[in-house]
Amino acid sequence: MVGGGTCPRQDSRQILYSDPGPTSPVAPQSRYRLFRNSERQLVEQSVCTLKASGFYWGPLPTGEAHSMLAKETVGTFLVRDSSQGNHLFSVSIKMESGPVSVRVLFFKGRFWLRELFSDCPVKLLELAVERSKKNPLFCQNGIKLVLLKPLRRTRVLSLQQLCRQCIVTKYGREGLSRLPIQPALRNYIEEFPFKI
């Protein structure tokens, strides 16, 4: 898993459950399917990473997401829980024709947005933003998807967040280990090593 931070397991457990096994109590009902241990851990970490992003809005209805994006510039996007129980997340995007929502598929331990995929939804969105600078992604119905900037819950990033974003943009995730910085600062940067 690339990136991520620490997130209390209890927050994630309210969303995702694995097969309880013969001696465990029955897990509470969830709108999501059951995940194998490795998938469950990946999805739990992904939820934590999305929460740290500031542009994950949780169980936001489609209509509200579209209403929020209607006044934003083209290419603004947010991530929310999918309204379809067989999908985890949706990305709502402001396009020239208005807001649209696209499901993020989760298949074989990877998150997919059209032909792009990653084991981390934030990394996937980072790939989509980079791709949108050159060529848009296309939906099956021919709609062009252009992702440029996330709509965060807090519009202004803190100075720490801005510095972290600049460092990751300049040196990349791979270059962080070579930087001569204090361990506490390194840990902070590695908690969310994304450009977006």
Cα distances (angstroms) measured from residue 102 to each of 62, 84, 113: 10, 11, 8
Question: According to the model, what pLDDT value does residue 8 have?
Answer: 35
Q: Is the dihedral of CA 49, 51, 57, 58 positive or negative?
A: positive
Q: What is the pLDDT of residue 32?
A: 52
pLDDT-based confidence at 33, cuts 50/70/90?
Answer: low
The pTM score is 0.74
pLDDT at 103: 92
pLDDT value of residue 151: 95
Domain extents for the chain? 9-53, 62-150, 159-191
Class of domain 62-150: alpha beta
pLDDT for residue 143: 79
Distance CA 79, CA 57 (A): 6
Calpha distance 147→37 (Å, rounded)? 32
Q: CB–CB of 15/47 below 8 Å? A: yes
Q: What is the arithmetic mean of pLDDT over 23-49?
A: 66
Rg (CA), the chain: 17
Helix residue spans in the chain (DSSP H)? 9-13, 37-53, 62-70, 121-134, 159-175, 183-191
Residues 116-174 pLDDT 10s: 999 999 999 999 999 998 888 887 777 788 999 999 988 777 888 888 888 988 888 78
